[in-house]
Amino acid sequence: MRPSLALLRTTTFRLALAQAGVVLLFVVALLVYVYFATIGQLVADSDILADQEYAALERAYAEGGIRRLNQEVVERSAGQGPLLYVLAEANGAVVTGDFPQLPAVPGEAVQRVDFSFETTDAEGAPQRSRARGQVGRLLNGPILLVARDLGDSAVITGRITRVLWTVAILGVMLSVASGLTASWFASRRVEALANTARDVMGGDLKRRAPVRGEGDEFDELAEAINAMLDRLERLMIVSRTAGDAIAHDLRSPLTRFRQKLEGALEAPEDSRNDREALRKALEEADNLLDMFAAVLKLARVESNPNWRLEPINATEVLQELVEFYEPAAEEQGRTLRGEIAPGLIVKGESGLFTQAVSNLVENALKYTPEGGHIDLSAVRRPDGRIEIAVLDDGPGIPPADRDRVLERFVRLESARSSPGAGLGLSLVAAVARLHKGGLHLRDGLSNGEGKGLGAALVLPAAAA
């Protein structure tokens, strides 16, 4: 497709063409109106005037014969009025009047004539003028012509008409030109967006649509497209790295699994030894299955748009969770306390909500040293959203690593020794996103050695 032709196909250009058509129609309508308001009126007036004069002269001829008529014509044509007269013999030879020759030949009956003639202007220069009137043969043959000089009025209306036509042509040209320009600009912006889309499809995921900073509709579109591309790129990176991470994380437990089975096979037959190897292999298999279950759950939370979000009595669920974990925390030498505001209703999916908070509590239990404290607090924030925070006085997470640990499979070096697949916090973050809320990591309780970790789950409240 040639660019110039492409330009003619744009919506903007079609709109401009339509606009040019409207301008043209308007000018034609204006022309018709001006014609009837000026020339039309003038012609009608002069016809009446000429007819009356012709009738008056006809009466004079009837009363006083050719002599009287001749005299009247001579007198009247000498006057300053706008009327022109010619009296001629039956053969057409002019007797008297404003023209040396008959400007129009009469027919059998009295008829309307419209003719142009040579005259002189105020400075004596020759110019064409136009006249309109009646010509006819009187009784016994003489020819009488009475016409009105349309003169200046015709010139003026002619000019008006020319001006209007000029305006029409200019208007149409301007419309087409502005349409072409507008569509050229629009095409260029659209082309830039289309190029971006094509580049991204071609594999350049980093490519973004240009934003000019003019805040116009194209910028708005470009920004929306860029936001979409950012999200897509993140998802692609996440799924790509998740694939790598799954392969990587599965390799070590699978290798251990294989080693145990192989070792048991190669060792001399000893049923106690065999049973121990089988027990360990089973443990590894359970770890693997747990990891798969976690990956599947995360995938389901992230990819299934059909979760039903319903009002959940968060106060009750959280109190039950504290009650559920408190004995185990105490047994492990940690203090778990709940400070839960009454009457908190969250809009969410009950099972996922419970699991998300339980993940936070378990995370805190896992990383808080013996003697540590864990607080589960829940409040309604001033903005109406509900914040559920699990704070501990464990080692915490350095601020620089906080965003990273929310990604799946990310485990900090310090956590390598403890069990887990690095999916706990990613699941909480995914659940938060599903609920149109967020998971924020910050400092926790400051009474321990480290800064502690505070994990705040912010979720929308259900409409009361």
Partner 1 sequence: MRVLLVEDDADMAENLRASLAADEHEVEIASDGEQGHSMAANGAYDVIVLDRMLPKKLGVSVVRELREQGVSTPVLILSALHDEDHRVEGLNAGANDYLGKPFSTRELLARVRALWHGRDRDVQTRLQVGDLEMDLLARTVKRGGKKLDLQPREFRLLEYLMRNSGQTVTRKMLLENVWDYHFDPQTNVIDVHISRLRSKIDRDFAQSLLHTVRGSGYRLEA
Binding site for partner 1 (CB under 8 A): 286, 289-290, 293, 300, 308, 320, 323-325, 327-328, 330-332, 349-351, 354-355, 358, 362, 365-366, 419-420
Shortest separation between residue 352's beta carbon and partner 1, angstroms: 8
251-277 residues labelled b (16+ CB within 10 A) or e (exposed): eebeebbeebeeebeeeeeeeeeeeeb
Q: Which is nearer to partner 1, 154 or 364 (CB)?
A: 364
Task: Tokens 């864990």: give the residue.
Answer: 374
Smallest gap from residue 402 Cβ to partner 1 (A):
22
Residue 444's φ and ψ, nearest 5 degrees, are -105, -135
Shortest reach from residue 362's CB to partner 1, in Å: 6
Residue 193 contacts by C-beta under 8 Å, 6 or more apart in sequence? 209, 218, 221, 222, 225
Q: Rounded distance, CA 173 to CA 175, Å?
A: 5
Between 237 and 285, whose beta carbon lies closer to partner 1? Answer: 285
Half-sphere exposure of 4 (CA within 13 A, CB side): 0
Cβ proximity to partner 1: between 33 and 324 the closer is 324
Sign of CA dihedral 340, 343, 346, 349: positive
Burial (0-12, 13-18, 19+ Cβ within 10 Å), 94 = middle
Of the two residues 68 and 366, which places its CB atom closer to partner 1 in the complex? 366
For the chain, the residue count is 464
Would you say 351 or 371 has its CB closer to partner 1? 351
Shortest CB 312 distance to partner 1, Å: 13
In the complex, least distance from residue 369 CB atom to partner 1, rounded to whole angstroms:
15
59/296 Cα distance (integer angstroms): 115
Q: State which residue, 19 or 350, has the beta carbon closest to partner 1.
A: 350
Whole-number minimum distance, CB 271 to partner 1, in Å? 17
Helices (H), 202-213: none
**CA–CA distance, 385 with 383 (Å, rounded to integer):** 6
Q: Of the two residues 178 and 358, which places its CB atom closer to partner 1 in the complex?
A: 358
The least distance separating partner 1 from the CB of residue 460, rounded to whole angstroms, comes to 20
| Phi, psi at 339, each rounded to 5° | -125, 85
Nearer to partner 1, 274 or 330 (CB): 330
Q: Render the burial of 148-184: b for 16+ CB within 10 Å, e for the rest.
A: bbbeebbeebeebeeebeeebeebbeebbeebbeebe
List residues bridging with 392 in a β-sheet: 374
Q: How far is the CB of 358 from partner 1 (least distance, A)?
A: 7
Give the Cβ contact number of residue 29 at 10 Å: 10
CB of 459 to partner 1, least distance (A): 18
For partner 1, give the closer residue by CB, 269 or 331: 331
Three-class secondary structure assignment of 225-249: HHHHHHHHHHHHHHHHHHHHHHHHH
